[in-house]
Amino acid sequence: WWEGGRPGGTRWVSMADNGIMTPEEKKAQREAAKKAKKAAKEAAAAKKKQRLGEGGGGNKGNKGGGKGKGGGGGGGKEAKDIRLREEYVNPTPKGEKKDITEPLPDSYSPARVEAAWYDWWEKRGFFAAKAEDRHKYKEKFVMVIPPPNVTGYLHMGHALTNAVEDVFCRYHRMDGKQVLWVPGADHAGIATQVVVEKRIKRELGKTRHDLGRDEFLKHVWAWKEEKGGHIFEQLRRLGSSLDWNRTAFTLDDDRQAAVREAFLRLHDMGIIYRSKRLGNWCCTLKTAIADIEVEHVDVAPFTKISIPGYEEPVEFGIIEDFGYDVVEQDGTPVPGPDGKPSVMRISTTRLETMLADAAVAIHPDDERYRHFHGKFVHHPYRNVRLPIVLDRELVKMDFGTACVKVTPAHDPNDYQCAKRHPELEFLNMLTDDGCITDVVPQFAGLPRYEARLRVREDLAAKGRHYGVRGNPMNLAFCERSRDVIEPMLKPQWWMDVEDVSKRAVAAVRDGELKIVPESHRVTWFRWMENSQPWCLSRQLWWGHRINAWLVWPKGEERPDPDLDASWIVARDEAQLHERARAKFQREPEELAFEQDADVLDTWFSSGLFPFAVFGWPRKSADLETFFPIELMETGEDILFFWVARMVMMSLLLMDTLPFRTVYLHTMVRDAHGRKMSKALGNVLDPIDVTEGIRLENLHEKLRQGNLDPREVSKAIEGQKQDFPHGISECGTDAMRFTLCTYTSQGDKINLNVNQIVADRNFCNKMWNVVKFAMRLLPEDFVVDESFSPNTATKIRQEDRWILSCLQDAIVESRRGLDTYNLGHTTGALKTFVLRELCDVHLEMLKPLVYDENGDADLKRSASQTLYVCLDYMFRLLHPFMPFVTEELWQRLPRRSGDRESIMISAYPAPEPTWTNRGVEKQMAAVNEIIATTRKMREDFNLGRQSLAVTLVSQDGAKDMEPLEAFEHSLAKLCMASKVVFSKTSEVDTSSSLVGVVPNSMLRVLVNLHGVDVSQAIASQKKKLATFQKDLARLEGKMSRPTYREKVPQKVQEEDQLKFSTYQESVRVLEKSIADIEKMAS
């Protein structure tokens, strides 16, 4: 058994150590193992008793030893079936190669396997790529990481992203390309600012305004330095082969320079401009909000929801009616058909916004209101007349009263209506924090939902409120604050994306930009063909402060900040002074400068990421070598918010696409298909999955998070249902493999932790395979680097078959990777490893290896075949399972030209000459024979008795000849004392069980002559008694006098079918018992 790494580190163990022993040695070893196992159990029981006596509830924290069973609660109660990561102290100095001359441990331990390898890979420079080395490679493969939030923690969505991206990087690196994967982090303007503001409030009792901008930003930078490295550490633990020397932060000096330059150039091009437009506004955070930060929720009628800043829940899912008096232009009431003043009845879901109504709209073709054309309505609080306008787009004649209030400054549809009717006024009725402005002094200063109640009461007192009805609706929430989004009219910086969106559409239609899966092309076209101006401003302090200044001569009036012409955009102070001097013909000392207080939308800096990470706007060797990148992989939910922005920015600033292919993975949901949410308690930290965690520790993480205290108890209940005892340690390799397998699931990934546990068992299976397979290699094994099934002196058909299977695995693995179908690759590899190599080939190898008189040439070719399978298996799996494959591959014998690490070894190339469909067909027949024989043993409860097996074919010797080559394998796997290949179809079956092999002309005869079949007879009689009992019970039911009249016809038909089935089962079993007894006699 070869256990060394490189030449000089080789160690051979004895044949006894290798498991090839005499019967006496085997017996002694079994006895010793039993004693050791008994002693271990007694020690574990004593340790448990001592721990429980001390009142402990298992090991604290997330660590544990062995299976690590430990309860989530106190009182010594232990959680079942939870395996926690063992406490393992890594003896390898950081950056040094792990010592693999030690014997392979008995069992797979993720903690041991994952230790040391990553630091060694990084120190050896395997992740790095240099521009000056480009001539060494024919091709390059470059990706940039979707930058996670700098102060955040990875969730399973991040784990999926990085698992998939690392698979592609490792695959292309092994395939001989120059690979670069650039790491980075996003400053996450709003998310980071919210977290730090809460911390300051909690620790200092102050707001950011109390501190001032500069002091507040010091706190944010301190927070970033304190927490920012955590997410990079998580990425390392996930095995992400990123070039850490190139780590980019979207708010570092180089990226700030890129952002300022981009804003300057796009403003000079007229693409960025200043304007007052409608956008999403969060009253709690007091800032504009990007669409991706808005969560749309369906709300049932009369639903009460807690809103920040309100003591009592606010009722939504309602619609209410109120009335406006219809008047002439001079204010005279317009009489109705009954002579009374006309009232126009309006339905609304946001009553408070009527304070800023500018008009009422009706459809020009609506005959019910034709007499209101050219009329007005009287506003009861502002004492003004509002025009009744005709609008075909806004009004639906069959919806509600078909009279629509128009509030241009607070509704996107009304905003467009006002654009079509320029005479309408844009009135703002909300302050930045969501209170009523002085547009109506009577309600000024009231929070908007309190104002809603007051307006309702006042209108009712005036006789102009007609009640509240239930109304299902869709509400937009700020995902950060959980406040309801308000459309607000604000002066902001905007980016015109109409023309560049057309270029982006054409790029996809013309095939220049490929989107995978292609189903997302529809979404791309829908969004890009209907793109709207992009709001760039955010009313925050943390972020890229907009490099635009109001400039005016000292002593003169400050210019209107709403106008684009009032601003000067510059990359730095020198350019600002130069441009101001040219505009005003005055020296800077004579001018006043006021920089915009707002920052840019985070997606603006993220949109520059694919080229900003290479030094843009500087012309660098990196930019020339590595841009454009080959692949952009990310979640489907940010196709528009990030991918589209990168395409736009690159087309505008680089005049080329930033990448040629976009691969989108689906959203990770929980096992029930629900979106992962802290409130549901189903959000998973990947490290908790890789290391294992008790239920109580999951609860504690919730309590220490930012979740609203009112939602913590609900989330805890969710955790109890999904993870009743916690989560078992799965290891990084298993989690990566499962996540990649899930990518083929379709439009969503329903993540079941049990599947990751199953793939952890797959790792354990490989571990045991290597331990077992290495014992099968001879003591003097040397790799034959020229070995081929076509040139071997002698080679078994079984070996030809497994190499043919391996060739298929190589082809299918590459097909999946090359077409972004990772699930196809993982499925093909799992089939090869588990079904073909482990379940079949290794079992068929044992008879040859253990046969002391076996053919030496066949043994040599079998050993070479086994080595090839192990070597190729690890290299095929490495992109998915980097740690366990490196650990096991390093322990294989080496070829002369092998690289020092599996991650820089060649990814297996197809070996077409290994394909052997004839042998595969023969092997399929062999597997069917084995399955048929085992089924007969099971059906007749024959256990593991060694019985003679005869194969018979309707075609006689013709079918037998190819199968004779598999005699030893058939005997082993059929548990046969011998296998007879009949040359004729006429054989004596009087003392044999006969089974028909599916899809063939073959029959299997299991000879029972002289065999103790008492257990088989007892088993069959037990089954017979059960069926007889069921038959008698059903017969009694059907013979009742009232059965025909009272039992429904459908039930009678079902009973008759059961009766026939029971009768046939009894007949078959009785005959079977009689046949067995006859054969036994």
Residue 880 or 967, more confident: 880
Alpha-carbon torsion angle 1044, 1048, 1050, 1052, nearest 10: -30
Whether residue 18 has pLDDT greater than 50: no
Token reading at 404: 């629509």
SS3 268: helix
Q: Which of 458, 656, 491, 644 is nearest to 563 (CA)?
A: 491
User: Under a CB-based contact definition with an 8 Å cutoff, are residues 515 and 579 in contact?
Assistant: no
pLDDT given for residue 430 in this prediction: 97
* Mean of pLDDT values over 901-930: 95
* Model confidence pLDDT, tens digit, residues 321-373: 999 999 999 999 999 888 899 999 999 999 999 999 999 999 999 999 999 99
| Confidence band for 1031, pLDDT divided at 50, 70 and 90 | very high
| Confidence band for 15, pLDDT divided at 50, 70 and 90 | very low
| Confidence band for 5, pLDDT divided at 50, 70 and 90 | very low
Whether residue 76 has pLDDT greater than 60: no
* Model confidence pLDDT, tens digit, residues 495-538: 999 999 999 999 999 999 999 999 999 999 999 999 989 999 99
| Confidence band for 3, pLDDT divided at 50, 70 and 90 | very low
Whether residue 183 has pLDDT greater than 90: yes
Containing 259, the helix (H) or strand (E) segment is helix 253-268
Residue 470 backbone phi and psi in degrees, to 5: -70, 140
* Mean of pLDDT values over 33-41: 52
User: Could you give the CA distance from residue 491 to residue 276 in angstroms, rounded to a whole number?
Assistant: 4
* Mean of pLDDT values over 617-628: 97
Supply the angle between the helices 695-704 and 709-722 in degrees, to the nearest 10. Answer: 160
- What mean pLDDT is reported for the chain? 88
User: Under a CB-based contact definition with an 8 Å cutoff, are residues 813 and 941 in contact?
Assistant: no
| Confidence band for 63, pLDDT divided at 50, 70 and 90 | very low
* Mean of pLDDT values over 1031-1036: 94
Q: Which amino acid is at 202?
A: R
The answer to which of 67-81, 432-446, 796-810 has the lowest mean pLDDT is: 67-81
DSSP conformation letters of 1003-1016 = EEEEE-TT---HHH
Whether residue 19 has pLDDT greater than 60: no
User: Could you give the CA distance from residue 569 to residue 600 in angstroms, rounded to a whole number?
Assistant: 14
The whole-model pTM stands at: 0.82
Report the length, in residues, of the chain.
1081
- Give residue for tokens 């915009």: 596
Residues of the chain with pLDDT > 90, as a percent, come to 67
Residue 253 or 29, more confident: 253
Residue 598 or 46, more confident: 598
pLDDT given for residue 42 in this prediction: 55
pLDDT given for residue 57 in this prediction: 33
* Mean of pLDDT values over 266-276: 97
Whether residue 578 has pLDDT greater than 60: yes
pLDDT given for residue 112 in this prediction: 95
Q: Which of 952, 885, 963 is nearest to 919 (CA)?
A: 963
User: Could you give the CA distance from residue 29 to residue 820 in angstroms, rounded to a whole number?
Assistant: 49
The answer to which of 631-635, 768-772, 874-878 has the lowest mean pLDDT is: 768-772
User: Could you give the CA distance from residue 336 to residue 323 in angstroms, rounded to a whole number?
Assistant: 14
* Model confidence pLDDT, tens digit, residues 151-166: 778 888 899 999 999 9
Whether residue 1050 has pLDDT greater than 60: yes
User: Under a CB-based contact definition with an 8 Å cutoff, are residues 601 and 255 in contact?
Assistant: no
* Model confidence pLDDT, tens digit, residues 945-958: 788 888 888 666 66
| Confidence band for 554, pLDDT divided at 50, 70 and 90 | very high
| Confidence band for 1080, pLDDT divided at 50, 70 and 90 | low
DSSP 838: I
User: Could you give the CA distance from residue 498 to residue 502 in angstroms, rounded to a whole number?
Assistant: 7
Token reading at 498: 């109409």
Alpha-carbon torsion angle 34, 39, 45, 46, nearest 10: 170
* Mean of pLDDT values over 270-287: 94
Whether residue 465 has pLDDT greater than 50: yes
Whether residue 74 has pLDDT greater than 60: no
Q: Which amino acid is at 349?
A: T
User: Under a CB-based contact definition with an 8 Å cutoff, are residues 85 and 62 in contact?
Assistant: yes
User: Could you give the CA distance from residue 135 to residue 863 in angstroms, rounded to a whole number?
Assistant: 40
Containing 948, the helix (H) or strand (E) segment is strand 947-953
pLDDT given for residue 637 in this prediction: 85
User: Under a CB-based contact definition with an 8 Å cutoff, are residues 72 and 697 in contact?
Assistant: yes
* Mean of pLDDT values over 829-853: 91
SS3 395: coil
User: Could you give the CA distance from residue 526 to residue 546 in angstroms, rounded to a whole number?
Assistant: 31
Q: Which amino acid is at 882?
A: P
Q: Which of 429, 316, 330, 434 is nearest to 374 (CA)?
A: 330
DSSP conformation letters of 1016-1039 = HHHHHHHHHHHHHHHHHHHHHHHT
Whether residue 723 has pLDDT greater than 50: yes
**10 Å Cβ neighbour count for 677?**
15
pLDDT given for residue 54 in this prediction: 37
User: Could you give the CA distance from residue 485 to residue 1028 in angstroms, rounded to a whole number?
Assistant: 70
Whether residue 849 has pLDDT greater than 90: no
pLDDT given for residue 47 in this prediction: 45
User: Could you give the CA distance from residue 705 to residue 776 in angstroms, rounded to a whole number?
Assistant: 53
pLDDT given for residue 841 in this prediction: 94
SS3 71: coil
Containing 702, the helix (H) or strand (E) segment is helix 695-704
Using only the alpha carbons of the chain, give its radius of gyration.
38
574 burial (CB, 10 Å; 0-12 / 13-18 / 19+) is exposed
Q: Long-range contacts for 819-823 (Cβ within 8 Å, ≥24 apart)?
A: 820/516, 820/663, 821/743, 821/744, 822/164, 822/167, 822/740, 822/741, 822/743, 822/744, 822/880, 823/740, 823/741, 823/742, 823/743, 823/744, 823/745
pLDDT given for residue 2 in this prediction: 26
Residues of the chain with pLDDT > 70, as a percent, come to 90
